[in-house]
Structure 1
Amino acid sequence: MRQRIELRDITRVFEDGGTQRTVLDKLNLSVAEGELVAVMGPSGSGKSTFLSIAGALLEPTSGDVLLDGKSITGKSQQELSDMRLHKLGFIFQSANLIPYLKVEEQLLFVAKQGGLDKSQARERAKGLLEKLGLAHRRSAYPDKLSGGERQRVAIARALMNDPAVLLADEPTASLDASRGMDVVRMIAGEAKEQGKAAVMVTHDERVLPLCDRVLYLEEGRLVQR
């Protein structure tokens, strides 16, 4: 089974008031195609730092990140930007939709940034919106959507450029139990059906049965209890 994302011996040290603080300490993680991994841990344990490094938003002090077997270490900012656009799909706690764009336009905007052909982009957007039960909302603005609908649009947007890896940061935090379960089912389903890897940072224990593995960030490392 192909490993779609690997973090190898990731260490991240911050300067804090003249002293060095090690947030991540030789952390390791491999996530295969079709797999959804949940990462849990208390506030301040380094979950945001971990996700930022996995998403090529923050450089580790040492260690390596591999996407589809290729290291991202030493890449230029433009190369990292292209990688985030094509290899990584981000889903955040709040959907972060652009308020003046309609649902379909949210997806087409991402496709344009990724250089996707217009007709292909429209076809892909149509297919994703149908799959996620949003076809009837394609012309709605974000402020007319429910919380669950906004998160589904965020998932569709994250999938628009067919990334290898989905990274979700507390995607159910603002949703009730049933909508939260629906959102995580969709993330898990996309990972399995499309051969993607998904990593979800969460505090929501209700959704853990939907995950293939649950890891805990303790003392800078990921452990399985």
Structure 2
Amino acid sequence: MNIQLELQNITRTFQDGGAERHILDRLNLQVAKGELVAVTGPSGSGKSTFLSIAGALLAPTSGQVLVEGQAIRNQTERELAALRLHKLGFIFQSAHLVPYLKVREQLLLVAKLAGQDKNQAAKRADTLLRTLGLAHRSQAYPEKLSGGERQRAAIARALMNDPSVLLADEPTASLDAERGYEVVSLMAEQVKAAGKSAVLVTHDQRMLPLCDRVLRLENGKLTEIPPVQREKRQLG
């Protein structure tokens, strides 16, 4: 199994009225190449903290994160920024597109920051937009896009630098069921086709059948939800 994202014994604590509280408690996770993993859990369970640590945006109190087998502990801010730019792709709840850039320009900006060749970047941007059904919207500003189109643009942007790991934080929260399913379906297809590893944090039970594994975060730990239990929850 080719593991592209690994969290080893991740603990994150904070002080609350003089007492130490655990948000994450010796949490472990491995995500293989071509695998889409969903993480669910109640509000306040630490899902955002978990995703921030996985994405090198927040340092754990103890434990380590490995991306493509490389530990990121003790890296400088510059090294972490390069890691996020080249190895990690982020998809957020509200897309976070730059309002004054057209769709194609959103992708080219990412390539420019990474120092990609302009011609190669242009070709990759056009390929991604075609693949995600956005070629006809390449010159549109974010305000002119539907919710589903904005999220597809966010997926294209996240894939622009060919990262090994995709991290998505509630990407369907602002979408109806049909558009949400479409967005996660596209994400799942890209993970399989391009050999990415992906983690999807979601409350949306309807998206779970598209995922290879479903984990629940509670009391600081991840536990896998068997397929039978997943089906019961969806029916319920």
Aligned to 2:56: 56
2:177 is the counterpart of 1:177 = yes
Aligned to 2:138: 138
Per-residue displacement from partner, 1:37-85 (whole Å, max 9, x unpaired)?
A: 0000011000000000000000000001000001000000000000000
Query: Secondary structure of 1:101's match?
Result: coil
Deviation at 1:133, TM superposition (A): 0.4
Deviation at 1:18, TM superposition (A): 2.7
Amino acid at match of 2:81: S
**Normalised TM-score (structure 1):** 0.99
Aligned to 1:108: 108
Where structure 1 has 5 or more consecutive residues not aligned to the other structure, the ranges are none
Q: Distance in 1 between matches of 2:203 and 2:95?
A: 17
- What does 1:38-53 correspond to in 2, within 5 Å? 38-53=38-53
Amino acid at match of 1:45: S
Aligned to 2:202: 202
Q: Distance in 2 between matches of 1:187 and 1:3?
A: 19
- What does 1:64-213 correspond to in 2, within 5 Å? 64-213=64-213
**Normalised TM-score (structure 2):** 0.94
Where structure 2 has 5 or more consecutive residues not aligned to the other structure, the ranges are 226-236
Q: Distance in 1 between matches of 2:35 and 2:203?
A: 19
Moved over 4 A (4+): none
Query: Secondary structure of 2:99's match?
Result: coil
Query: Secondary structure of 1:39's match?
Result: strand
Count of residues in correspondence between the two structures: 225
Q: Distance in 2 between matches of 1:131 and 1:123?
A: 12
Q: CA RMSD in A?
A: 0.6
Q: Distance in 2 between matches of 1:16 and 1:93?
A: 29
Per-residue displacement from partner, 1:136-185 (whole Å, max 9, x unpaired)?
A: 00110000000000000000000000000000000000001111001111
Amino acid at match of 2:116: L
